[in-house]
Amino acid sequence: MSDPHAGMVEKRGPSRWLTHAGLILGVLFIFFPIWLAFVASTVSQPEIVRPPMPLLPGDRFFENYRDALLSGVNAPVARMLMNSAVMAVGIALGKIAISLLSAFAIVYFRFPLRKLFFWLIFMTLMLPVEVRIVPTYEVAANFGMLNSYGGLILPLVASATATFLFRQFFMTVPDELAEAARVDGARPMRFFVDILLPMSRTNIAALFVILFIYGWNQYLWPLLITTDPEMNTIVMGIKQMFPSGDDIADWPVIMATSILAMIPPVIVVISMQKLFIRGLVDSEK
């Protein structure tokens, strides 16, 4: 049989339909919350506050999204989207850049304290931001980084994971390639730019997908570092849209914002599915 998956183990008939039914149930469970948010983003506030809300989209799609994007609650969501984009791209590119350089140094050179530096970088695996928030916040504050892109990006840029991924990859690049480049007269940085970087393209792209989502979905750090609504990222900004006290939340706008907050990462994940899965599996190895 040509298909390696086909064979006697594959069930036919009713059990196949059960399989599909189970999977469809799973898909519904996954999509129901998203669907509901979408519906809420297309109806009017009164339709929501008088439960039950409708389960099919209404006709206020453009109004609600326009309201959210242009005025929002505290700040226009368009502004928050841009902040998120800057942060996510900044973190992804920053991590990739410093990790490529340090992995290159660690793999292709022998220098004093190499082992020590290696372990220092490695240990940061054990220090998620959430663990050291107060002192990290103080450092950022002392640098005057509150309400700045630098403050949003820099503290999240160091990454042992990316360094390890590139180190693993560089180890698989044949020694002879570097030697051939040396014989060809390439100095280290020339080899790095002309040979190693182009060869790492796929790895870089896969990692970018993962890191973009990581950066986009940050919550606690932007919550601490940005007090000015103009600097809020969209993911943390949603919570800020809820009124304190007993006022009623502006659900259609909040739900439109939630949908807007998931669109960029969803597009990245779905459109680069292959790279994404590869990046995911690689970065956990």
Partner 1 sequence: MKGHMEKRVIFKGKWLPLLLILPQLAVTAVFFFYPAGEAIWQSLFIPDPFGLSMQYVGLGNFEYLLNDPYYRASFVTTAVFSVLVTLVSMGVALFLAVLADRLIKGSGTYRTLLIWPYAVAPAVAGVLWMFMFNTRVGVITWYLGQLGYDWNHVLNGTEAMGLVVIASAWGRISYNFLFFLAGLQSIPRSVIEAAAIDGAGFWTRFRTIVFPLLSPTTFFLMVVNIVYAFFETFGVIHTITAGGPQQSTTILVYKVYADGFVGQDLGSSAAQSVVLLVVVGLLTVAQFKFIERKVHY
Partner 2 sequence: MAPLTLSSVRKRFGDTQVIHSVDIDVADGEFIVIVGPSGCGKSTLLRMVAGLEGVSDGEISIGGKRVNDAEPMERDIAMVFQNYALYPHMTVFDNMAYGLKIAKTPKPEIEARVAKAARLLQLEPYLKRRPRELSGGQRQRVAMGRAIVRRPSVFLFDEPLSNLDAKLRVQMRLEIKQLQRKLGVTSLYVTHDQVEAMTLADRMIVMNAGRAEQIGAPLEVYADPETEFVAGFIGSPPTNFIDAAGLGGPGARVGIRPEHMRMADTGRLSGHAVSVEPLGAETLVHVMLEDGTALTLRQDGAAPLPGIGEAVTLDWDAASEMRFDAEGRRMR
Out of 102, 200, 226, 283, name the contact with partner 1 by CB under 8 A. Answer: 102
Distance CA 82, CA 285 (A): 33
Minimum distance, C-beta of residue 96 to partner 2, in the bound complex (Å): 18
Out of 130, 194, 228, 230, name the contact with partner 2 by CB under 8 A. Answer: 194
Q: By rule CB under 8 A, what string of x and - marks binding of each residue 144-183 to partner 2?
A: ------------------------------x-xx-xxxxx
Q: Interface with partner 1 by CB under 8 A: which range of 58-66, 69-77, 136-144, 199-207? A: 136-144
Q: Show contacts with partner 1 in window 138-157 (CB under 8 A).
A: 138-140, 154-155, 157
By CB under 8 A, tell whether 61 contacts partner 1. no
Measured from the CB atom, is 208 or 276 closer to partner 1?
276
Which residues have a Cβ under 8 Å from the Cβ of 156 and sit 6 or more positions away? 91, 95, 129, 215, 218, 221
Q: Is 23 exposed, middle or buried (0-12, 13-18, 19+ CB in 10 A)?
A: exposed
Distances (CA, A) of 213 to 92, 125, 172, 189, 267: 9, 18, 27, 30, 11
The percent of the chain in helix, strand and coil, each rounded to the nearest 5, is 75, 0, 25
Out of 53, 86, 93, 195, name the contact with partner 1 by CB under 8 A. Answer: 53
By CB under 8 A, tell whether 185 contacts partner 2. yes
Both tokens assigned to 73: 């609650």
Out of 124, 180, 184, 230, name the contact with partner 1 by CB under 8 A. Answer: 124
By CB under 8 A, tell whether 186 contacts partner 2. yes
Distance CA 210, CA 6 (A): 33
Minimum distance, C-beta of residue 110 to partner 2, in the bound complex (Å): 12
Contact partner at residue 195 from partner 2, partner 1, none, CB < 5 to 8 Å by partner kind: partner 2
Q: Interface with partner 1 by CB under 8 A: which range of 62-70, 72-80, 97-105, 199-207? A: 97-105
3-state secondary structure 112-149: CCHHHHHHHHHHHHHCCHHHHHHHHHHHHHHCCCCCCH
Minimum distance, C-beta of residue 206 to partner 1, in the bound complex (Å): 14
Please, are residues 94 and 157 in contact by the beta-carbon 8 Å criterion? yes
Q: Could you list the residues that contact partner 2 (CB under 8 A)?
A: 174, 176-177, 179-186, 190, 194-195, 198-199, 201
